[in-house]
Every structure is written in C-alpha cells, then in structure tokens.
Amino acid sequence: MAKIDHIELGEFPLLLAPMEDVSDPPFRALCKEQGADVVYTEFISSEGLIRDAAKSIQKLDIYEKERPVGIQIFGANLDSMLRTVEIVEKSKPDIIDINFGCPVKKVVSKGAGAGILKDIDSMESLTREMVKRTHLPITVKTRLGWDADSIRIVEVAERLQDAGAKAISIHGRTRAQMYKGVADWTQIAAVKNNPRMHIPIFGNGDVDTPEKAALMRDKFGLDGAMIGRASIGNPWFFKQVKHFFKTGKHLPEITITERVKTARRHLQMEIDWKKNEIVGIMEMRRHYSNYFRGIPHFKPYRLKLVTTDNLDTLNQHFEEILEVFGP
C-alpha cells in the first residue's frame, strides 16, 4: 500500500504527471475518471505567483473531484519558494510538489527545475525549508542527474527524504538527455532498493504500455508509475493499465465514437474553464492529433479541427468524422 504521508493511494498507484499546457483541470478530470490515482497541476512559476501573473494564478484552480491533487511549483530562490507555499496553501491542495526535473533551457538557466541538479546542497536545503513552512506533504519530482557523469540519485533521494520529502518521482533520464534515448529504470530501482529509504519511489519515463507499467511494478519493484506523454489524447491509459493488472488482457481499442465523444466533452470543459469560447477552442488544438492518433487518412480532418475557431463548425466537423470513420 503506497502512501504519501497520510494519503492512502492503494497498490501501485498511477499518477498523472505535471505537464505544461496539458494537465489543466479539464484534462485532469478526464484522467481521474479513467483511473488516475493522483493528479498534478501544470508546473507553476514561483516568481509568476508572487508577481500575481494571471496565467500562474489560473493554474492554481483545483476541484474536489480531482482529489488527491498536487500543485507543482518551480523556482530557485528560497524566499520566493517559501512565499509561494503560502499562496498555494490557499487553494487547499492535498500535496505540494517541487519540480527539480524540468529540462527546458529557460527554466534551467535560472537554476530551477533540472538546473538545481548541479547544486545538491541547495536542492536539499530548499526542500527542508519548504517542509518546515507547511503542514501539507511535500513531494519532489526530479531526474537521475545533470548528465551521465554526475548521477548521484541514490544519495540525492536519501537527502531529500531526510529533508522531509514524503515521496519522490524520478524520471529515468538525465537533464542532458532531455527526452531522448531510453529511460533507465535500473537507477530508479537502486533508489527503491536502498535500505535507508522508506518513502514511496515512483518511476517516470517511457511507461507507454500496460506491459511496461507491469514491468515497473514487478521487475523493478517501484511503488507506482507516473504517466506523462502516454496519457496525452489518451486519458483511458489509466483504465487500460488497471485492466491489464487485473486480467492480464488488453481492453479493446478505443472506438471512434468514444474518441469523438471525449474530445467534444474535453473541448466544452476547456471552454467552461476558460470562460471564453475562443480561448477554450485554442487550448484544445494541441490535443486533437493525440485523440485521433493512428487513424489512417485523418490528416485533412485534423487540419479542420485545428484551424476552426467556431464551436458550431467544430461540432459539424466532429459529426463528419463520425460519418467517415465511425462504425
């Protein structure tokens, strides 16, 4: 039974990874319905929250049906991160997660995200001070190290645990790898197998089939899997994995009818959340390729979906997709 502090998550929980421009409230709600055990917000800039930047503030939106939900924040300045804790607490999340893993240059160049992997002492002290500042459990998401020559993840995880972190999610790549190559789960397993560790260790990276989730559980012995890219346009992934765990078999392919129904619902949820039809339509465009991935000859219809800015016309396109590709 995996637990983050007092929050019971069941056997081998599946966590929705924090993903910029993806894991907003509508998408998190869909994943939760399909079996995600914990969901995380998009990562939020501590400096943006302190400046009261509208985009950062809106990312704090969470809803009861999402729980347990974690708000993820990033930053390198201790004072800013501590002030951010107080802002985040007002949204009443279940968990506060620190991003020590984002590899994007504009984040890393400020010493935040994976940038802090060059300064393990700061990583530890920032975690310790944030734990002191809040009653909420603090978790951490990080990578194996800065590059292949500086992997110290077993030591780093110990120090984060000693600093008070209640769980650690580890992406099995270094910052230098970005998202290339293959995630190295053996390094994550080494953390889990360290007899000093007693908090949950969640694996992240390349879990894109139910079989891989089972491998992470059964061969590598981790406490759960954090799912990122495999869930984009496929909120059913969580249900697919759990069905496989239970039966050893795959669920049937998601039908066109179900894909269209969910994409339309997702679109309406985006519009409702943004309280603006045009903005909701624009936000949804990045998802269409994924919802209809693998369908032969779909490109002209995808083009229609991503160039239309009228809801009625979009609904007409969805009806046309059902007629052409449906049962």
> Residue 291: pLDDT band by 50, 70, 90 thresholds?
very high
pLDDT at 107: 87
Residues 150 and 174 in one domain: yes
Average confidence score pLDDT of the chain:
93
pLDDT at 104: 85
Residues 41 and 166 in one domain: yes
Share of the chain above pLDDT 90, in %: 80
Per-residue pLDDT at 129 exceeds 80? yes
Q: What is the mean pLDDT of residues 293-302?
A: 92
Residues 133 and 22 in one domain: yes
**In a domain? residue 251:** no
Share of the chain above pLDDT 70, in %: 100
**In a domain? residue 37:** yes
pLDDT at 266: 96
Q: What's the CA gap between 3 and 118, in Å, rounded?
A: 30
Per-residue pLDDT at 113 exceeds 90? no
Residue with tokens 């998009």: 42
Whether a cis peptide bond, with omega within 30° of 0, leads into 68 is: yes
Per-residue pLDDT at 108 exceeds 90? no
Span 257-289, pLDDT tens digits: 999 999 999 999 999 999 999 999 998 998 998
- Last residue within a domain, chosen from 220, 243, 266: 243
**In a domain? residue 83:** yes
Residues pairing with 97 in the sheet: 72, 139
Span 5-57, pLDDT tens digits: 999 999 999 999 999 889 999 999 999 999 999 999 999 889 888 887 777 78
- Last residue within a domain, chosen from 210, 243, 276: 243
**In a domain? residue 288:** yes
Given 76, 102, 189, 263, the catalytic residue: 102
**In a domain? residue 250:** no
Residues 175 and 212 in one domain: yes
Residues 276 and 220 in one domain: no
pLDDT at 60: 84
> Residue 196: pLDDT band by 50, 70, 90 thresholds?
very high
- Last residue within a domain, chosen from 184, 211, 243: 243
Span 139-161, pLDDT tens digits: 999 999 998 888 999 999 999 99
Residues 130 and 210 in one domain: yes
Residues 43 and 76 in one domain: yes
Which residue range(s) make up the domain with 184? 2-243
Pure H helices in the chain: 25-33, 46-50, 54-58, 78-89, 105-108, 120-133, 153-162, 185-192, 210-218, 237-247, 256-274, 277-291, 299-307, 311-325
Residues 307 and 184 in one domain: no
Sort 304 into a burial class: Cβ within 10 Å, 0-12 / 13-18 / 19+.
middle
How many independent structural domains does the chain possess? 2
For residue 102, indicate whether it is catalytic: yes
List, in order, residues 6 or more apart from 98 with CB less than 8 Å away.
Answer: 72, 73, 74, 81, 126, 127, 130, 138, 139, 140, 141
pTM for this model (two decimals): 0.94
